[in-house]
Amino acid sequence: MDTKNLLEIRNLNVDFKTPRGRVHALREVSFNAPKGKIVGIVGESGSGKSTVIWAMTQLLAGNGVVECGEIFFNGKNVLDFSEDELRAFRGEEASIVFQDPMTSQIPVLSYSQQMSDIAYRQRNKSFREKIEHSKQIMRKVGIPDTEQRVYQYPHQFSGGMRQRAGIAMALLMNPLMLIGDEPTTALDVTMEAQIIHLLRSLQEELKSTVMIVSHNLGLVAELCDEVVVMYAGEVVEQGDIRQIFHNAKHPYTQALLECDPARVSNRARFLPTIPGDLPDLHIRPNGCVFAPRCKYALQRCEQDRPETYVIEGTHNTKCHLLDSSRDQFGTSSTIERQVSKTETYDSSLKNIIDFEKPPILNVENLNVRFEIMGPLQALLKRNGKRFVDAVLNVSLHLRQGETLGLVGESGSGKTTLGRAILGLVPSSRGSVEFDGRLLTDLSESVLRNLRQDMAMMFQDPIGSLSPRKTVGALIAEPFSLHNKEKKNLEEEARRLCDMVNLPHSFLNRYPHELSGGQARRVGVARALALEPKLIIADEPTAGLDVSVQGEVLNLMRDLQARRKLSYLIVTHNLPVVRHICDRLAIMYLGRIVEQGNGEMIFQKPAHPYTEALVHGVPQPDPDKRRNLVSIEGEVPSLTNRPSGCEFHNRCKYVQEKCKTLMPQEKVLPDNRTVQCHFPLIN
Amino acid sequence: MSEIASNKALESAKKDQDIKGHMSESREKLSLFLNNRLGMFGLMLVVLFFVSAIFAPYFATHDPFLMDIPQRMSGPTLEHWAGTDQLGRDTYSRVIYGGRVALKVAAIGVSISLFVGLLLGMLAGYGPRWLDNFLLLIFDSIRSFPTIVLALAAVALLGPSLELVLAVVIVTSIPGYARLARTSTLALKNTEFILAERSLGAHPAIIMWRHIMPNVIGPLLILAAMDVPVVVTIEAGLSFLGLGVLPPTASWGTILNEGYLVIRDTPWPIIAGGIPLVLTTLGFTFLGEALRDVFDPRLRKGK
């Protein structure tokens, strides 16, 4: 046991017993967490990165078994702890910040109660003392007005504040190690930046050891000192942050880094991907786990398990390619693989936007208003507002073959706008003109018929598929809905499957048997079944791993080029938007604050909010860490809009005029429109 | 060459695996059910109930209406396995034939109320707000009536009959199904997959029938299995009070009713009429609970 390491995991193997056999979730996992450092565990879904935490805190699900291995924490083996020792260990020596503060905090207890419950073992402290201590910690994590807020309940906190409270609860017992399980995944980019900043400053102040589990390379690059890369239950590479990000040796790490859209700096038409799927963890692989998807795989990689090769210091990796003696085996030729579809996409894409015809979609002054209370209730509450404006005076247009990105934080009304355009949410004012017809005037039954020409892709790839229907039935459904039964449905389903690169064997599966990327492809197939002219995609890459994300976007691009589709892409993920959108519209509190050419907006944002969003994305490069949080505060409630420019209370460049006077829309020389008194350019 | 061959073998192996993966979901449920001992016991009782009621003539030893006055109110004998009643009729045979009444009420009553309840519940959940409020008002008014009092009122107006018992059973159990269907529908209404269907231009009726119904029906079927004993006891209770099935038709309720009058002379009719009632109730309850455990993964215990 090395005293400079707080945590040492050696040869950890964890299995899950399922009715279909044992899943080998972790195999031969070994790594160290040095004292006073921030360690990041990176991996895609199914890599076992969270299982490491649960094994370490002995909180594995009922069917999980630690097969063998040792977990030394501060010199003691956690696996030998008794129940009592474990209780003392969890929360006091190692405590966890969870991904979703909404579900990990108790909704019926105020923070004061939850926090004094955490300190239940400090019997000599009175309730009052515990509350005082809680307030101190809450101040430390940047929660204002702690005197009152400590007595509030989780639902009274906003998302970012709730996560801060989660961190406060984890820090309450002054643990030796703070563990973050995807601590920013449920938050917006702007909130994410604030939490990263907070974690970093807390770590510097408390000199504690932090372990971050995440799929987000940007987050890890911004925050961590050491990185452990996991794939399919194994550690494939580990080392110092700079070594991993600048000098990755394992093909998986290299591919993962390549896939991150934020890292691809030129606006490439097609994104790199990792072809193939995660291996079945029921079967122990004979060779390297990554071999079936590896570009450089040798014959040997499929037969022998690679050993750990030390590259430099703590940097080591498990890969045969680093074996200097490999040539003597005479099998160094790489295995021939079928060229994946992604590589055969025609990358010489010309601009297909049709500027001759009038725009296919024309939205004028669209408003969406939700009633939040009845007229009686509003009378009783006097000051209460009856309505909430989710979308305010939005105008936009979309040409054939064009992609427009609709970007904003959660609560900006972007999803509502997308649904209102399709008439899935009633609009209160304004007009939507699609292909020469005014949708807002049409009756529901006429609109239903018109839906063949406009399709929608939903945020949750699996949740947007009817769970009791097979993939085949789901793909063929649009035909039967629009009385195209004459066509051979099965044949059509197979044709669509080919179009989205889905094997035919999937036609008999049910949605829950699909991975996120496969379900997304089914969603694309359904959307495209009737050859629509417009597709509104709501967060098309949400819930997908980086390696799959590129595949879906490439597919969408390819189909656009071949069928002259128009896309309206609703997202908060700026790096993705940058790669696929021709134009961008930035939304804040239901209004479009900036609209124009995507590349220009990225290079020179005109609205301070756009600037904050563009700079808010963490870069997957440890040398480009930001020292300043680009935007403070959170999105105000829609029921309580700020006066004047609605962004003024978060704006860095705020002036007196902004607080009282609402800015008019300005057209900038480069054809951009912006709603700001003092645009950042010219 | 060999590489291509091995690739093909790999592919077909993968296909097999796909099929297996697909099958194993239902197989997993079946094995879960088969391993539930109480559930299997319940299933056995339920099967026994169905078989004995449907094939009553083969199970009965006597004509249920045949009176054997000299041997009235005898205890169990080799000839009369469960003794005879005050008119000398064979109690065992009457119990078997009584099962037919119980099965009729249970099967017809539960299936009609399940179907109507499902339909009204989905309408209330998916339809406009005013329809929901209107239907809820009706459901709540029905539920606020005690079943027996409602039955008494109906009998007072229309006279006792099996059809009336059925009607009372159906009317009073619809709200239970409808409320369950409505709650599940409300939860489904705002999910993305329903929105996705709407965005494809699906008619509301199609959405309800093809996409909401399959997701709602599971819990309703389980409720139905657990409702069967309730319905059987309502029928027996009403018949016991003389408000249901009329003598001389044999039903478990009338057997109990008649046995009750002669309980000081012989306990056998009461015992023989009560046992099948208890067993059927237990059987359906165990079966219902086992089904719920299998279909609701949240209730499954971790191993």
Q: How do residues A524-534 score in pLDDT, each as one tens digit?
A: 888 888 888 89
User: Of A140-149, A545-554, B290-299, which range is least confident?
Assistant: B290-299
pLDDT at B14: 43
Neighbouring residues of A62: CB distance < 8 A, sequence distance ≥ 6: B302, B303
- In this complex, is the C-beta atom of A661 within 8 Å of any C-beta atom belonging to chain B? no
Structure-model confidence comparison of residues A405 and A61, the more confident one: A405
pLDDT at A238: 92
Which residue type sits at B9? A
How far is C-alpha A239 from the geometric centre of its chain's CA atoms? 25
**Contact yes or no for B24 and A20 at CB 8 A:** yes
Neighbouring residues of B127: CB distance < 8 A, sequence distance ≥ 6: none
Measured between CA atoms, the residue of chain A closest to residue B27 is A19
Closest CA to A34 of A56, A1, A12, A57: A1
- In this complex, is the C-beta atom of A448 within 8 Å of any C-beta atom belonging to chain B? yes
Q: Which residues of B touch A455 (CB under 8 A)?
A: 199-200
pLDDT at A568: 93
Given a cut of 60, whether residue B303 has pLDDT beyond it is: no
pLDDT at B25: 58
Given a cut of 50, whether residue B21 has pLDDT beyond it is: no
In the structure, what pLDDT confidence band is assigned to residue A487 with cuts at 50, 70 and 90?
low
Kindly report the backbone phi and psi dihedral angles of residue B299, in degrees, each rounded to the nearest multiple of 5, phi listed first. Answer: -90, -10
Which residue type sits at A365? N
User: How far is residue B66's CA from residue B89's CA, in Å, rounded to a whole number?
Assistant: 6
List the domain boundaries for chain A.
5-109+175-259, 110-174, 361-467+516-613+632-675
Measured between CA atoms, the residue of chain A closest to residue B192 is A464
Question: What digits encode the pLDDT tens for the residues A428-486?
Answer: 888 999 888 888 888 888 888 888 888 888 888 888 888 888 888 898 888 888 877 66
Per the structure block, which two tokens stand in for A353?
A: 């936007």
Q: What ranges in A142-216 are assigned the alpha helix state H?
A: 146-149, 159-171, 189-206
Given a cut of 60, whether residue A67 has pLDDT beyond it is: yes
Question: What digits encode the pLDDT tens for the residues A176-217?
Answer: 899 998 888 778 878 888 888 888 888 888 888 999 998 888
In the structure, what pLDDT confidence band is assigned to residue A654 with cuts at 50, 70 and 90?
confident
pLDDT at B296: 61
Among candidates A19, A460, A513 on the partner chain, residue whose Cβ is nearest the Cβ of B28: A19
Q: Identify the DSSP state of A90.
A: B
List the domain boundaries for chain B.
27-299
Per the structure block, which two tokens stand in for A89?
A: 């260990």
**Contact yes or no for B195 and A458 at CB 8 A:** yes
pLDDT at A639: 78
Q: Hey, how many other C-beta atoms are within 10 angstroms of the C-beta on A167?
A: 25
Q: Which residues of A touch B200 (CB under 8 A)?
A: 451, 455, 477-478, 481, 526
Given a cut of 80, whether residue B15 has pLDDT beyond it is: no
- The label of the residue with tokens 């501060």 reads A74
- In this complex, is the C-beta atom of A682 within 8 Å of any C-beta atom belonging to chain B? no
Neighbouring residues of B66: CB distance < 8 A, sequence distance ≥ 6: B89, B90
Given a cut of 60, whether residue A44 has pLDDT beyond it is: yes
Mean pLDDT (whole number) for A66-73: 90
Measured between CA atoms, the residue of chain B closest to residue A467 is B215
Q: Are strands A76-77 and A234-240 parallel, antiparallel or unpaired?
A: unpaired
List Cα–Cα distances, A336 to A287, A616, B42, in angstroms.
17, 42, 59
Closest CA to A358 of A402, A410, A303: A402
pLDDT at B9: 43
Among candidates B193, B200, B203 on the partner chain, residue whose Cβ is nearest the Cβ of A478: B200
* Three-state secondary-structure class, residue B146: coil
Given a cut of 50, whether residue A340 has pLDDT beyond it is: no
In the structure, what pLDDT confidence band is assigned to residue A345 with cuts at 50, 70 and 90?
low
**Contact yes or no for A464 and B192 at CB 8 A:** yes
User: How far is residue B45's CA from residue B277's CA, in Å, rounded to a whole number?
Assistant: 11
**Contact yes or no for B3 and A469 at CB 8 A:** no
Per the structure block, which two tokens stand in for B79?
A: 């000839």
Among candidates A61, A422, A482 on the partner chain, residue whose Cβ is nearest the Cβ of B199: A422
Percentage above 70 pLDDT, chain A? 93
In the structure, what pLDDT confidence band is assigned to residue B13 with cuts at 50, 70 and 90?
very low
Q: Which residues of B touch A63 (CB under 8 A)?
A: 302-303
Q: What is the mean pLDDT of chain B?
A: 80
List Cα–Cα distances, B24 to A20, B10, B13, B33, B114, in angstroms.
8, 21, 16, 14, 30
Q: Which residues of A touch B221 (CB under 8 A)?
A: none
Per the structure block, which two tokens stand in for A242?
A: 């700079």
pLDDT at A325: 57
**Contact yes or no for B195 and A424 at CB 8 A:** yes
**Contact yes or no for B200 and A468 at CB 8 A:** no
Mean pLDDT (whole number) for B241-258: 79
* Three-state secondary-structure class, residue A661: coil
Nearest-CA distance B41 → chain A (Å)? 23
Q: Please, which residues bridge with residue A177 across strands?
A: A94, A209
Which residue type sits at A284? R
Given a cut of 60, whether residue B8 has pLDDT beyond it is: no
Q: Which strand (E) or helix (H) includes residue A139?
A: helix A127-140
Radius of gyration of chain A (CA): 27
Per the structure block, which two tokens stand in for B12?
A: 């077909």
Q: Does domain B27-299 have CATH number 1.10.3720.10?
A: yes
User: How far is residue A251's CA from residue B148's CA, in Å, rounded to a whole number?
Assistant: 75
3-state secondary structure B242-274: CCCCCCCCCCHHHHHHHHHHCCCCCCHHHHHHH
Q: Which strand (E) or helix (H) includes residue B107?
A: helix B91-126
Ramachandran region, residue A161 (left: φ > 0; alpha: ψ -120 to 50; beta: rest): alpha
CA atoms in the 13 A half-sphere facing the CB of A97: 30
In the structure, what pLDDT confidence band is assigned to residue B130 with cuts at 50, 70 and 90?
very high
Percentage above 90 pLDDT, chain A? 12
Among candidates A19, A280, A477 on the partner chain, residue whose Cβ is nearest the Cβ of B200: A477
- The label of the residue with tokens 């590129």 reads A550
Mean pLDDT (whole number) for A214-236: 89
Those of residues 248-307 in A touching chain B at CB distance below 8 A are 280
Question: Under a CB-based contact definition with an 8 Å cutoff, are residues A467 and A449 in contact?
Answer: no
- Here the ipTM equals 0.77
| Contacts of A677-681 spanning 24+ positions with Cβ under 8 A | A677/A645, A678/A653, A679/A606, A679/A607, A680/A604, A680/A605, A680/A606, A680/A607, A680/A608, A680/A611, A680/A653, A681/A604, A681/A606
Q: Which residues of A touch B209 (CB under 8 A)?
A: none
Per the structure block, which two tokens stand in for A659?
A: 């607080």
Closest CA to A203 of A182, A176, A184, A238: A176
User: How far is residue A648's CA from residue A662's CA, in Å, rounded to a whole number?
Assistant: 10
Interface test with B, best of A464, A471, A482 (most B CBs within 10 A): A464
In the structure, what pLDDT confidence band is assigned to residue A336 with cuts at 50, 70 and 90?
low
Percentage above 90 pLDDT, chain B? 16
Among candidates B199, B203, B211 on the partner chain, residue whose Cβ is nearest the Cβ of A455: B199
Nearest-CA distance A480 → chain B (Å)? 10
- In this complex, is the C-beta atom of A495 within 8 Å of any C-beta atom belonging to chain B? no
Mean pLDDT (whole number) for B225-252: 80
Q: Which residues of A touch B18 (CB under 8 A)?
A: 505-506, 509
- In this complex, is the C-beta atom of A449 within 8 Å of any C-beta atom belonging to chain B? yes
Given a cut of 70, whether residue A489 has pLDDT beyond it is: yes
- In this complex, is the C-beta atom of A624 within 8 Å of any C-beta atom belonging to chain B? no
Q: Which strand (E) or helix (H) includes residue A34?
A: strand A21-34
- In this complex, is the C-beta atom of A17 within 8 Å of any C-beta atom belonging to chain B? yes
**Contact yes or no for A20 and B31 at CB 8 A:** no
Closest CA to A599 of A616, A565, A619, A574: A574
Given a cut of 90, whether residue B264 has pLDDT beyond it is: no
- In this complex, is the C-beta atom of A520 within 8 Å of any C-beta atom belonging to chain B? no
List Cα–Cα distances, A615 to A204, A355, A550, A630, B237, in angstroms.
23, 32, 22, 6, 75
Q: Which strand (E) or helix (H) includes residue A180?
A: strand A177-181
Nearest-CA distance B94 → chain A (Å)? 45
In the structure, what pLDDT confidence band is assigned to residue A159 with cuts at 50, 70 and 90?
confident
Closest CA to B223 of B111, B91, B123: B111
- In this complex, is the C-beta atom of A453 within 8 Å of any C-beta atom belonging to chain B? no
pLDDT at B225: 83
CATH of A5-109+175-259, one of 1.10.490.10, 3.30.70.100, 1.10.150.170, 3.40.50.300: 3.40.50.300
Among candidates A17, A419, A468 on the partner chain, residue whose Cβ is nearest the Cβ of B215: A468
User: Of A232-241, A261-270, B118-127, which range is least confident?
Assistant: A261-270
**Contact yes or no for A17 and B193 at CB 8 A:** no
Q: Identify the DSSP state of B191.
A: S
**Contact yes or no for B196 and A526 at CB 8 A:** yes
In the structure, what pLDDT confidence band is assigned to residue B5 with cuts at 50, 70 and 90?
very low
Among candidates A61, A459, A509 on the partner chain, residue whose Cβ is nearest the Cβ of B192: A459
Q: Which residues of A touch B192 (CB under 8 A)?
A: 458-460, 463-464
User: How far is residue A119's CA from residue A123's CA, in Å, rounded to a whole number?
Assistant: 8
In the structure, what pLDDT confidence band is assigned to residue B121 with cuts at 50, 70 and 90?
very high
- Domain A361-467+516-613+632-675 sits in which CATH superfamily? P-loop containing nucleotide triphosphate hydrolases (3.40.50.300)
Question: What digits encode the pLDDT tens for the residues B151-198?
Answer: 888 888 888 888 888 888 899 899 999 999 999 999 998 888 898 998
Question: Under a CB-based contact definition with an 8 Å cutoff, are residues A365 and A394 in contact?
Answer: yes
Q: Please, which residues bridge with residue A96 across strands?
A: A179
Closest CA to B101 of B68, B52, B61, B146: B52
Those of residues 166-205 in B touching chain A at CB distance below 8 A are 191-193, 195-203
Which residue type sits at A259? C
Given a cut of 80, whether residue B244 has pLDDT beyond it is: no
DSSP per residue, A272-325: ----S-PPPTTSPPSS-TTGGG-TT-BGGGGTS---EEEEETTEEEE-GGG-TT
For the entire predicted model, the pTM comes to: 0.79
Given a cut of 80, whether residue B64 has pLDDT beyond it is: no
- In this complex, is the C-beta atom of A484 within 8 Å of any C-beta atom belonging to chain B? no
Measured between CA atoms, the residue of chain A closest to residue B212 is A466
Q: What is the mean pLDDT of chain A?
A: 84
Nearest-CA distance B125 → chain A (Å)? 18
Strand arrangement, sheet containing A5-18? A21-34, A5-18, A64-73, A76-77
